Every structure is written in C-alpha cells, then in structure tokens.
A and B are shown apart, each in its own frame.
Chain A
Amino acid sequence: QKEVEQNSGPLSVPEGAIASLNCTYSDRGSQSFFWYRQYSGKSPELIMFIYSNGDKEDGRFTAQLNKASQYVSLLIRDSQPSDSATYLCAPLKAAGNKLTFGGGTRVLVKP
C-alpha cells in the first residue's frame, strides 16, 4: 500500500464546473495536510493546507479533511483552463516531520 494514494487521472472537467480531487493516506500520525499545484515542467506551488477535520475554504478552493477515514480532498469551484495542472496531496508525516507526496492527480479543464 502506498503511503499516499491519489487517482492519477486525467480528471477532465468543463470550464466552470467543480473539480473534485481525492487523497487517502496511511500514516495515522499525520496532522497537517497540504495541497500543491504543479504545472508541467514547473515546481510545486502551495494551494492550501488544512489541520483540522472539516472544511476549509480559500477562494475557489475548498479542502476537506477526515482524519478518522484518513481522507483529504480538494474541490476547485468554477474551474478555469488555467487550473489545468497536476495536484499533489502531501500529508506531513509525524515521524521526521517530512512531507510525503502522492503521485498527483492531473486535472484538465476544457473551455
């Protein structure tokens, strides 16, 4: 079992729709969770982070966390073509205080 599981995609969504990305993790000790966006050929950039169970909204992005289910998700509302990228889920491992990256979900927003 991988430490962080993400559907590789591509997740194809029409412009203006909601993109829903899921992530499960194996380390029950993880307390902080990060979502990064990576455009092709570029380095990751931080989208948002979440520490507590429930929802956290930041602009068009909403992160959802359920520690009991070891599940974290990211919703992108009103998707734009510029949102087309790979989204990386990264829990912070309790041991070593290091990020563990999933393989990423590639999102394709079609005009």
Chain B
Amino acid sequence: GAVVSQHPSRVICKSGTSVKIECRSLDFQATTMFWYRQFPKQSLMLMATSNEGSKATYEQGVEKDKFLINHASLTLSTLTVTSAHPEDSSFYICSARDFRGNIQYFGAGTRLSVL
C-alpha cells in the first residue's frame, strides 16, 4: 500500500506553545488530506479536510483559528495546534487520499501531550 509519513510521532509541550505536525504522502500525489483526532477508547473524529492549494474545510465544532492547516503541495499538509492547552492532548492522525481513487492511507499518528 501507499505510504504516508507523519512527523513527529510524539510531542510533549508546555501549555501555551504551538505545535506543528507534518503529513507527507511519499509515493503518491494526494489532492486531499484529512486530519483526525482520537481520544482514548473513542473512534476517529474528522477535524478538517485539506485540499491542495485551497483553504481547509473544518468540521462543525473545530476551531479553525486554533487548528491551522496548510496544504501547500500535492504531498505535504501541516497541522499547527496554536496555543495548546491540556485539553488538546490527544492522538492526531492524518490521512491522504490517492488522487486516482477513493482509498485513504493513514499516517502513523502524533501523540500530543500538553502539560
């Protein structure tokens, strides 16, 4: 299957700092990337859909000014958690959809812990 690289895998930061997470499709072009958040023992919650070269579409209840998404190229999308607080601690997972079809491949995820 296709490879999606997500970095970093784990972040521990102080409250009030900003954290950037990168998501790269390594062997395919992804016109659309997705950002999910998952709390313990819960399913994935879609935060936003990111299309290359355009503004991200955020799901209801997700603050776009807090979770900044940039999709500057067909292989790279970034999520910046601004002014992180302990309640933002979660498992953030990106996925990329191969432009040739509807299959989504997931990155390994980033575990964010805000102290």
* A residues adjacent to B (C-beta < 8 A): 32, 34, 36, 42-46, 49, 88, 92, 96-99, 101-104
Taking CB as reference atom, which chain A residue is nearest B106?
Answer: A43
Which B residues, 2 to 34, have Cβ-Cβ distances below 8 Å to chain A? 6, 32, 34
- CB of A103 within 8 A of CB of B93, answer no
Which range holds the interface residue count of chain B?
Answer: 10 to 19
Q: Flag if A101 contacts B1 (CB, 8 Å).
A: no
Chain A residues closer than 8 Å to B60, beta-carbon distance = none
The answer to whether A88 and B108 have CB atoms under 8 Å apart is no
For A42, the chain B residues whose CB sits under 8 A away are: 108-109
> How many whole Å from A82's CB to the nearest CB in chain B?
18
Select one of B32, B42, B46, B107 contacting A43, CB under 8 A: B107
Q: A98 CA to B36 CA in the complex, in Å?
A: 12
- Highest count of chain B CB atoms <10 Å: which of A32, A43, A49, A88: A43
**How far in angstroms is the closest Cβ of chain B from A83?**
18
Do residues A45 and B106 form an inter-chain contact, with CB atoms below 8 A? yes
Interface segment out of the listed B63-71, B73-81, B82-90, B97-105: B97-105
A34 touching B43, Cβ below 8 Å: no
In the docked arrangement, what's the CA distance between A33 and B109, Å?
Answer: 22
Find A46's partner among B42, B46, B103, B109 (CB 8 Å cutoff). Answer: B103
Q: Of B1, B6, B34, B43, which contacts A104 at CB under 8 A? A: B43
